[in-house]
Amino acid sequence: MASTEAMRLFVKILEEEDPAWYSRVPEPIVKISSEIHKSKLEPSGEKAISSGTSFPESKHISIENGDHMETQDKDIIMEGLGAIGVYDNWVAPPISGHHPKPRYEHGAAVVKDKMYIFGGNHNGRYLSDLQVLDLRSLMWSKIDAKVSKGLSESSTPAQVAPCAGHSLISWDNKILSVAGHAKDPSKTVTVKEFDLQTLTWSDLRTYGKPPISRGGQSVTLVGTTLVIFGGQDAKRSLLNDLHVLDLETMTWDDIDAIGTPPSPRSDHAAACHAERYLLIFGGGSHATCFNDLYVLDLHTMEWSRPRQQGVTPGPRAGHAGVKVGENWFIVGGGDNKNGVSETLVLHMSTLVWSVVTTVQGRVPLASEGLTVVLSTCNGEDYLVSFGGYNGRYSNEVYVLKPSYKSDLPSRMIDKPTSENMSVANPTTNVSRDLAPESEAAQDGKITEIMMDNVDPGASNMRTESSAEHVIVALKTENEELEAALNRERLQNFQLKQELAEVEIKNVEISKAWFLFLFFSFFKLSINMTSLFGSSMFPYIILKN
């Protein structure tokens, strides 16, 4: 029996014999720090964490007896995420407040400089608490949420149903909790909404045919639609079905996509590129972890498995992903043996993988079931991770300041390698944008971005050999645009002809209507003449 299954069975037996055992478990007490993180994290102040992993050591300034803060080197004091000065390195910042209970398989979302944590799994028990980390002050606090049932709302704080393996989505200044495992699971996927104004949870009513209940799925926000893929149902059966939920009408729809979909899996990562392409990476079955990448064109609803470039990612499940512009960061996860130590980034337009940084030892970043969110402070992007499981449950927070910006970084250089355009162009055909691996060399539409550590000689050779292909691609693209323009002109000419025919018909109808009125008035005038004896009556009527 797997260790997690054994733990769940132990907890179930313990709850049957002593239902109140969990209430006697003490919460971790964390002393509120009065220290403030400095703006510079010097390399000389690095300290080893967990078997040699280097993180810049935080410098602090104590505030005692209300005295003003002073520094010997007179550096500018910055608070929160803005105090982190190093790039591409995970840092453990000073966190104050009452820390949440350690957990994994929880949900996380950012709304207005606050990271919200909901639910999760701790020692085989599902959680239902809602915690918030202020990303400017780096202080934890707990929200005493209310629960709305139907039209009535409880006036005192109540407990929402505990769950784990769910997805937390920020939407319209509210937070949506979608799917997830529960002690008493429903038959279908449920959607809960947390109102940040009233601090109230409520179950949203949906229409259509909802998918069966599950956990470990991916939920991706695309415009006003949630795209749900895969997961594991209440009977531990793995899934690879595809569903969408329209958030404006709250209507479900199941999608029968063409092409070969990813194999059934859970605990994978998903992201949307250019509001059109859904990327699925990794995940696991009961005995296998994956490192494959699939792409679903949301316009044509066709699956493809594109050719990947750069470093080869190792198999993993339980990892977390977050987008920074066109860069998709993949953090943590495990392969059934060890936690994955490296943080990867995939440039989504070129499908080039590279390693951002590597951690060692059993730190939460090399664990399963952690969450990673994106926050912006003073114009800089920050990745914030929380929790995870690597043999023990974690409630630690780490922050990475990526040098990869929201736009194309200056440290990268575009180098076309095939005869077609980039995947970023949403007007091109998916069969050329994201071709299967066997066809990628002929019809790949991939523009490679070369990293700093790539051999410049090889780069120049690749550029020269592909110059002719680029010219051919541009000519082909130009011909396609001219053909499209001609089709538009033809359609415009046809519309003008139809409009002219309609105008002619309108004129004929107007003439017929005039004659009808004239003869009707003439007939009426004859009748009026017989009554009043005036032959001028038709003239008077027509004149008026």
> What is the pLDDT, as a whole number, of residue 32?
31
**Rounded to the nearest 5°, which phi and psi values hold at 429?**
-80, 140
Interatomic CA distance for residues 406 and 429, integer angstroms: 26
Give the tens place of pLDDT for each residue, 347-375: 999 999 999 999 988 888 999 999 999 99
> What is the pLDDT, as a whole number, of residue 517?
77
> What is the pLDDT, as a whole number, of residue 65?
33
> What is the pLDDT, as a whole number, of residue 436?
39
* 238 vs 364 pLDDT, higher one: 238
Instruction: Look at the block and give the residue holding tokens 């009513």.
Output: 205
> What is the pLDDT, as a whole number, of residue 31?
35
Segment 414-431 mean pLDDT: 33
Q: Which residues contact 498 (CB under 8 A, 6 or more apart)?
A: none
> What is the pLDDT, as a whole number, of residue 392?
94
At residue 506's C-alpha, the angle toward residues 500 and 511, to 5°, is 130
* 324 vs 417 pLDDT, higher one: 324
Interatomic CA distance for residues 90 and 352, integer angstroms: 22
Please report, as a single letter, which amino acid is at residue 529. T
Percent of the chain with pLDDT over 90: 54
> What is the pLDDT, as a whole number, of residue 128?
96
Q: Closest Cα to residue 272, out of 226, 333, 331, 319? A: 226
Give the tens place of pLDDT for each residue, 106-128: 999 999 999 999 999 999 999 99
Segment 394-403 mean pLDDT: 96
Segment 465-480 mean pLDDT: 64
Q: What are the distances in angstroms from CA 231 to CA 67, 161, 238, 298? A: 55, 20, 6, 20
> What is the pLDDT, as a whole number, of residue 532?
59
Please report, as a single letter, which amino acid is at residue 256. D
Six-digit token string for 87: 């790039």
Query: How many beta carbons lie within 10 A of that of residue 538, not counting itself?
Result: 18
Q: What are the distances in angstroms from CA 492 to CA 233, 497, 523? A: 52, 9, 46
Q: Closest Cα to residue 309, out of 140, 152, 110, 451? A: 451
39 and 75 Cβ atoms separated by less than 8 Å: yes
| Of the candidate ranges 1-5, 320-324, 404-408, 439-443, the one whose mean pLDDT is the lowest | 439-443
> What is the pLDDT, as a whole number, of residue 13?
61
Q: What is the band of 149 on the pLDDT scale with cuts at 50, 70, 90?
A: confident
Q: Closest Cα to residue 339, out of 355, 312, 313, 359? A: 359
The mean predicted confidence, pLDDT, of the chain is 77
* 466 vs 417 pLDDT, higher one: 466
Interatomic CA distance for residues 478 and 284, integer angstroms: 44
Interatomic CA distance for residues 463 and 476, integer angstroms: 19
Query: How many beta carbons lie within 10 A of that of residue 409, not counting itself?
Result: 16
Is residue 424 scored above 90 in pLDDT?
A: no
Q: What is the band of 454 on the pLDDT scale with cuts at 50, 70, 90?
A: very low
Give first-to-last CA distance, the chain, whole Å: 98
Is residue 5 scored above 50 in pLDDT?
A: yes
Q: What is the band of 527 on the pLDDT scale with cuts at 50, 70, 90?
A: confident
**Rounded to the nearest 5°, which phi and psi values hold at 189?**
-65, 130
> What is the pLDDT, as a whole number, of residue 474?
73
Bridge-based pairing state of the strands 352-358 and 309-310: parallel
> What is the pLDDT, as a whole number, of residue 112?
92
Segment 515-522 mean pLDDT: 74
Six-digit token string for 511: 């003439």
Q: Which residues contact 163 (CB under 8 A, 6 or more apart)?
A: 119, 126, 128, 177, 180, 181, 182, 215
* 363 vs 132 pLDDT, higher one: 132
> What is the pLDDT, as a whole number, of residue 494?
74
Q: What is the band of 539 on the pLDDT scale with cuts at 50, 70, 90?
A: very low
Q: What are the distances in angstroms from CA 335 to CA 15, 287, 292, 318? A: 31, 10, 13, 9
Interatomic CA distance for residues 340 and 362, integer angstroms: 10
* 505 vs 104 pLDDT, higher one: 104
* Cα 148 → chain centroid: 27
* SS (HEC) of 76-106: CECCHHHHCCCCCCEECCCCEECCCCCEECC
Give the tens place of pLDDT for each residue, 185-198: 999 999 999 999 99
Interatomic CA distance for residues 389 and 2, integer angstroms: 15
Give the tens place of pLDDT for each residue, 295-328: 999 999 999 999 999 999 999 999 999 999 999 9
Is residue 480 scored above 50 in pLDDT?
A: yes
pTM: 0.65
Q: Which residues contact 502 (CB under 8 A, 6 or more apart)?
A: none
Q: Closest Cα to residue 468, out of 519, 422, 416? A: 416
Segment 119-146 mean pLDDT: 96
Interatomic CA distance for residues 91 and 399, integer angstroms: 5
Interatomic CA distance for residues 183 and 229, integer angstroms: 22
* SS (HEC) of 487-540: HHHHHHHHHHHHHHHHHHHHHHHHHHHHHHHHHHHHHHHHHHHHHHCCCCHHHH
3-state secondary structure of 279: strand
> What is the pLDDT, as a whole number, of residue 34?
32
Interatomic CA distance for residues 139 and 94, integer angstroms: 9
Q: Closest Cα to residue 319, out of 367, 286, 391, 363? A: 367
> What is the pLDDT, as a whole number, of residue 365?
92
Give the tens place of pLDDT for each residue, 37-94: 333 333 333 333 333 333 343 333 333 333 333 333 334 346 789 889 899 999 999 9
Give the tens place of pLDDT for each residue, 270-295: 999 999 999 999 999 999 999 999 99
Interatomic CA distance for residues 169 and 247, integer angstroms: 12
Q: Closest Cα to residue 120, out of 138, 97, 101? A: 101
> What is the pLDDT, as a whole number, of residue 362?
84
- Determine which helix (DSSP H) or strand (DSSP E) holds 431, and give its type and residue range: helix 430-433
